[in-house]
């Protein structure tokens, strides 16, 4: 194996995989090498361009820390996250559709009781989010967990504010015996994905805006059922048709209804206008 040329080099590299003991690894790596080489050939990549690509990936890695995941952002903005999601969650009709996890989920969000406020002290108009977690037959699932997180009215998550240490604008609520949950928050707003890193530069170079339509994230889990990682999006948002991470689905778009001051559906007396949003999550039975 010497004197390799641009016509036989790919085959030589692929041949090196023949002794890889893990067959799935061999399959995936063979595809990666095949497509990488094909890309290089197709565009006749220059040495300067290849080095720029290496510098870019290096910068993406250096931008990551315990609060910032630039690689997830890269995957999201290139549509890779939604493609993987779509192929891995071919949910039956009636099940809540999935969408991207995004880079701002933090494990270990605080446990909240129904009716709690996940956004206490944060800027934004109050909103009561309520709904049910249901089986495919429409029966309530008691004890289901919603791990929710969102940005505030300034478009920032807790981890983007350097003065915050705890886990805020996020929490875990559980459904009651009737399969119902409810919590207070603030009405989310559209926000740009972080543009101060290499992914922001890529978006700029592609001539794309960085905005995501307003949404609330949720991971819904229940024993004996398939979990779902999803969002609810605010109806009427100007970015619903141009989400920077390609995550919008019609079934996840909900109305944030505005109300004048008065008694909210959970009995809270509101002295200022507020919003209500309702969404029922449907979970299929766990695969055997």
- The CB-of-112 to Fe ion minimum distance in angstroms stands at 19
Question: Which among 43-51, 99-107, 201-209, 250-258 is the span making contact with Fe ion, rule CB under 5 A?
Answer: 99-107
Question: Which among 98-106, 135-143, 246-254, 256-264 is the span making contact with Fe ion, rule CB under 5 A?
Answer: 98-106
Question: Which among 74-82, 96-104, 219-227, 257-265 is the span making contact with Fe ion, rule CB under 5 A?
Answer: 96-104
Based on CB atoms, which residue is closest to Fe ion, 236 or 262? 236
3-state secondary structure of 145: strand
Question: Which among 1-9, 36-44, 95-103, 140-148 is the span making contact with Fe ion, rule CB under 5 A?
Answer: 95-103
Q: Which residues pair with 233 in a beta bridge?
A: 215, 253
Q: Give the span between the Cα atoms of 10 and 215, in whole angstroms.
A: 44
- The CB-of-6 to Fe ion minimum distance in angstroms stands at 44
- The CB-of-77 to Fe ion minimum distance in angstroms stands at 13
Report which residue's Cβ sits closest to Fe ion.
102
Based on CB atoms, which residue is closest to Fe ion, 225 or 246? 246
Based on CB atoms, which residue is closest to Fe ion, 159 or 264? 159
Q: How deeply is 167 buried, as exposed, middle or buried, from its count of CB atoms within 10 A (0-12, 13-18, 19+)?
A: middle
Based on CB atoms, which residue is closest to Fe ion, 128 or 151? 151
- The CB-of-208 to Fe ion minimum distance in angstroms stands at 17
Question: Which among 60-68, 101-109, 180-188, 262-270 is the span making contact with Fe ion, rule CB under 5 A?
Answer: 101-109
Residue 46 backbone zone (phi > 0: left; psi -120 to 50: alpha; other: beta):
beta
- The CB-of-32 to Fe ion minimum distance in angstroms stands at 29
Based on CB atoms, which residue is closest to Fe ion, 167 or 180? 167
> Strand (E) positions, 48-186?
126-134, 145-150, 170-174, 180-186
- The CB-of-11 to Fe ion minimum distance in angstroms stands at 44
- The CB-of-253 to Fe ion minimum distance in angstroms stands at 15
Which of 58-66's residues contact partners 24+ apart within 8 Å by CB, and which partners?
59/197, 59/198, 60/197, 60/198, 60/199, 63/197, 63/198
Based on CB atoms, which residue is closest to Fe ion, 102 or 282? 102
Q: Give the span between the Cα atoms of 104 and 216, in whole angstroms.
A: 12
CA atoms within a 13 Å half-sphere pointing along the CA-CB vector of 30: 15
Based on CB atoms, which residue is closest to Fe ion, 115 or 192? 192
Q: Give the span between the Cα atoms of 182 and 176, in whole angstroms.
A: 10
Q: Give the span between the Cα atoms of 79 and 100, in whole angstroms.
A: 10
Closest C-alpha among 220, 200, 221 to residue 211: 200
Site residues for Fe ion per CB under 5 A: 102
């Amino acid at each position: 194996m010497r004197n390799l040329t641009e016509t036989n080099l790919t085959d030589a590299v692929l041949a090196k995989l023949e002794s890889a003991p893990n067959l799935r690894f061999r399959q995936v790596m063979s595809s990666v090498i095949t497509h990488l080489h094909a890309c290089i050939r197709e565009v006749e990549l220059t040495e300067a361009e290849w080095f720029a690509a290496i510098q870019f990936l290096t910068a993406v890695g250096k931008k990551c820390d315990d609060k910032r995941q630039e690689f997830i952002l890269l995957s999201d903005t290139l549509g890779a996250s939604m493609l993987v999601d779509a192929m891995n969650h071919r949910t039956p009709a009636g099940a809540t559709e999935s969408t991207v996890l995004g880079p701002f989920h933090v494990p270990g969000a605080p446990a909240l009781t129904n009716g709690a406020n996940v956004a206490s002290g944060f800027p934004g108009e109050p909103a009561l989010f309520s709904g049910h977690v249901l089986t495919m037959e429409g029966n309530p699932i008691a004890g289901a967990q919603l791990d929710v997180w969102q940005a505030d009215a300034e478009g920032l998550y807790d981890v983007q504010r350097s003065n915050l240490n705890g886990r805020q604008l996020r929490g875990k609520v559980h459904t009651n015996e009737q399969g119902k949950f409810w919590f207070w928050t603030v009405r989310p707003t559209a926000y740009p994905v972080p543009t101060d890193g290499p992914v922001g530069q890529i978006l700029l170079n592609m001539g794309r805006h960085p905005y995501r339509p307003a949404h609330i994230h949720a991971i819904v889990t229940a024993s004996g059922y398939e979990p779902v990682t999803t969002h609810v999006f605010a109806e009427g948002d100007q970015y619903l048709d141009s989400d920077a991470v390609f995550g919008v689905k019609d079934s996840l778009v909900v109305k944030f209804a505005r109300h004048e001051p008065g008694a909210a559906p959970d009995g809270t007396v509101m002295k200022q206008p507020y919003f209500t949003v309702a969404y029922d999550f449907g979970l299929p039975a766990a695969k055997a």
